[in-house]
Structure 1
Amino acid sequence: YNSNVLSYNSHLQQFPTSMLAGMFHFAIKDYFQMDEKKAEPVAVSFE
């Protein structure tokens, strides 16, 4: 996801895309960030 956001944001800032983006109100997007607490491994049991 973040690599696609990076590509999208980069294209928005380049000419002539920046002109079209302004006309159609495209905006820079934020990167996905996960809380460290939620990034911990989940215990799985197959009993």
Structure 2
Amino acid sequence: MTSPRGQGGHRTAQGSRAGRPAVIDGQVSEQSHAVECGINIWLRHIWNTF
């Protein structure tokens, strides 16, 4: 599969950062994970009551 001309050079210039999200603080990540888990538990409860 071929890629556009400048894409390969840009990826090489980015190095290990290519395609990765910005750095996220570990504590923020843990808190957002806890919130997501809580929402999922709540949604499962809501859908199982009907």
Same fold at TM > 0.5: no
The TM-score, its normalising length taken from structure 1, stands at 0.32
Q: Which has the higher contact order (CA 8 A, sep 6+)?
A: 1
Give the number of the structure whose alpha-carbon radius of gyration is greater.
2
